Amino acid sequence: MSALTAVLYGALAVYLGGWFFGLWTGNFALLLFTLTVLTFGYWVAERWRFRPAREAAAAALEQQDAQRRAVLARQGIAQVDGDVEQAKRRLLAQPWWLDWTAGLFPVILVVFLLRSFLYEPFKIPSGSMLPTLTVGDLILVNKFHYGIRLPVLNKKVVDNHDPQRGDVMVFRYPVDPRIDYIKRVVGVPGDEVAFRNQRLAINGQEVPIEPIGEYYDEDSLRYVPMFQEQLGAVSHRILVDPRRQAFYGSGTKSFPYGENCRYQPDGVVCKVPPGHYFVMGDNRDNSQDSRYWGFVPDANIVGRAFFVWMNFGNPRRIGSFH
């Protein structure tokens, strides 16, 4: 078993190493599920086989020692060498391969359950959600707000709230579901979302915005106009840079329900299909979102982001956000 455990740990090291160096895309949910199952198998084996065997060996050693001492006592020898208690402790001690498998099962199980059904941490990798979220923000995502889903399969088994306009949502990228994205929900099923000349409109009504000064973008090393936007019940900040206005071209994009979108040089108008959502980044001119790759299906939803729990470069970032 020690050799098998060493092989498993070697495979884990190769997998994590290749993931770290970008040789392949890892699936942490699947990895955590696999580790939970494997350590559970070791835990069961330890509880019902390996530990009883060690305890039986320790009891046999104690019995042999008692018999030896009884024989020596009958011969008038009262002082007997040997520390049977120390030998018993060695027999009862878990070997390393059980300590690093069965011993870790409770911890891995708790992490798996918390991450799968309650809260999951994410790290913000880009500036597409500036000024709401910055690069390096470590955030918490509520996994049950939109319903309970089976881990790995991501299949919803219990309904809860539906995504609302203004929610900051984490989801699996429709183009490559192995990658998680974070954007703000701007359109729900049935909405007509228009983004033309850098102005957002929902069902024919422009979303109210108010200028609130400028934001210093550390990536571009310049100031960008900042606005307060009222999207549904949520008031939040956005960046709109007239110097970086996108050119959308014309024609239908090649994504599911692409026929629901009309593209013109000044923007795009999309009708959100049932069971799908239209999402955008708060950094409107520096975000790859539904304007370019289409709608987010309900099956791809991971959870609702709501709290920055750490930013090692700026601890003042800690707190809730809209």
Tally the residues of the chain.
322
- The terminus-to-terminus CA distance of the chain in angstroms comes to 51
Distance CA(195)–CA(47), nearest Å, equals 61
Please state the separation of Cα 235 from the chain's center in Å.
26
Distance CA(209)–CA(229), nearest Å, equals 4
Distance CA(262)–CA(252), nearest Å, equals 7
Instruction: Indicate if 128 belongs to the active site.
Output: yes
Catalytic residue among 88, 116, 143, 183: 183
Over its C-alpha atoms, the chain yields an Rg (Å, rounded) of: 29
CA distances 184 to 83, 108, 224, 250, 290, Å, are: 68, 32, 20, 25, 10
Cβ neighbours for 296, distance < 8 A, ≥ 6 positions apart: 169, 171, 174, 183, 276, 277, 278, 279, 290
Catalytic residue among 128, 143, 287, 290: 128
Coil vs helix vs strand at 134: coil
Q: Catalytic site residues? A: 128, 183
